[in-house]
Structure 1
């Protein structure tokens, strides 16, 4: 099974990148993870249609080839990040070929805020529902301080089970969607 994941933060000290590392390390054996390089995508505009840059073609191919996708987003001003918005836009083009259509998708995010990334993830469900993604029903709105998430992928012992159950449950969800 191949799970692609995107991290919607470009920060070199991203807690969300740390969450991605933690989820990969806690996943069931036999799952291949592909890090989608969303930070290299240019801002989408329709002038690219018919003449895509290689980075966008490679991104779309990786999403298409994945059995499922995990989107890990920070919360910027009560919204998912611009990096995630741009990646979702590229995945939906050209019109009529949305790579996330019918694809199992899980949402997660971490923040030092007590509300974590719940509002951003709620907003992100809108476009994903529009594309017909199969949304994993379990949520991971993670408070970094409580969960002990670090940019290096560290996680507090008390949070390891929750994260392992989240990613293991998503793997089961993907299998059931096949």
Structure 2
């Protein structure tokens, strides 16, 4: 069993999501002592504070998966210069009711990929603002605003040679960040 279980939250539900593909590929750059579990967020009901006392099974599962992790990895799309609604919905569910924030204290990494040249810069900044409020220590550097272009992924879906050095550096920094927070 790995020493560090990381909850991976992909902020896109699209079947052919570049961000899910990135999430699947980048975790292969981590050392063996890290394992990653993608957290399902597509089946969550819309957040409604009236449901806090009696959350759905999908909300209970979400919070249990986060509570079982030693870190978080957010890989998000950018919709209209911000985070996707499905991601914000998951964040709201796992942070409520007040005083039962499952995200708190979990070290996080944030990255994303987009067909736009600026990657997911605005979404990442908005996500960082939300995570700061929720007491989630977030890796600040290096930032990874990834442009989806030919060669980002190889034929097998792994990180392509042209991007491997940069993304390996990002993963190495993330691993060090999680270990530092755990110490």
Task: Name the TM-score class by shorter chain.
Answer: over 0.9
Residue 47 (structure 1) aligned with residue 45 (structure 2): no
CA distance in 2, matches of 1:29, 1:5: 16
Q: Which residue of structure 2 lines up, in the alignment, with residue 36 of structure 1? A: 39
SS of 1:75's equivalent in the other structure is coil
Task: Normalising by structure 1, report the TM-score.
Answer: 0.94
Worse overlay, 16-25 or 154-163: 154-163
* More contact order relative to length (CA 8 Å, sep ≥ 6): 1
- What root-mean-square deviation, in Å, do the aligned CA atoms of Structure 1 and Structure 2 show? 1.6
How much does 1:86 deviate?
0.7
* Maintained 8 Å contact 1:14/1:151: no
CA distance in 2, matches of 1:155, 1:82: 27
CA distance in 2, matches of 1:95, 1:150: 44
Q: Hey, which of these two has a bigger chunk of helix by percent?
A: 1
CA distance in 2, matches of 1:171, 1:10: 26
Q: Which residue of structure 2 lines up, in the alignment, with residue 144 of structure 1? A: 148
CA distance in 1, matches of 2:87, 2:9: 8
CA distance in 2, matches of 1:147, 1:50: 48
CA distance in 2, matches of 1:144, 1:12: 16
Once the two structures are superposed, what CA deviation does each residue of 1:60-82 show, in whole Å capped at 9, x if it has no partner? 01111111101111010101111
Q: Hey, which of these two has a bigger chunk of strand by percent?
A: 1
Worse overlay, 106-115 or 163-172: 163-172
How much does 1:154 deviate?
3.5
Task: Normalising by structure 2, report the TM-score.
Answer: 0.91
Q: Which residue of structure 2 lines up, in the alignment, with residue 164 of structure 1? A: 168
Q: Which residue of structure 2 lines up, in the alignment, with residue 111 of structure 1? A: 114
Structure 1 residues without counterparts, runs of 5 or longer:
none
> What is the number of equivalent residue pairs in this alignment?
178
How much does 1:150 deviate?
7.5
Q: Which residue of structure 1 lines up, in the alignment, with residue 138 of structure 2? A: 135
Post-superposition, which runs of at least 4 consecutive aligned residues in structure 1 deviate over 3 A? 149-154
CA distance in 2, matches of 1:41, 1:58: 10
Once the two structures are superposed, what CA deviation does each residue of 1:31-82 show, in whole Å capped at 9, x if it has no partner? 1111100111111111211111111101101111111101111010101111
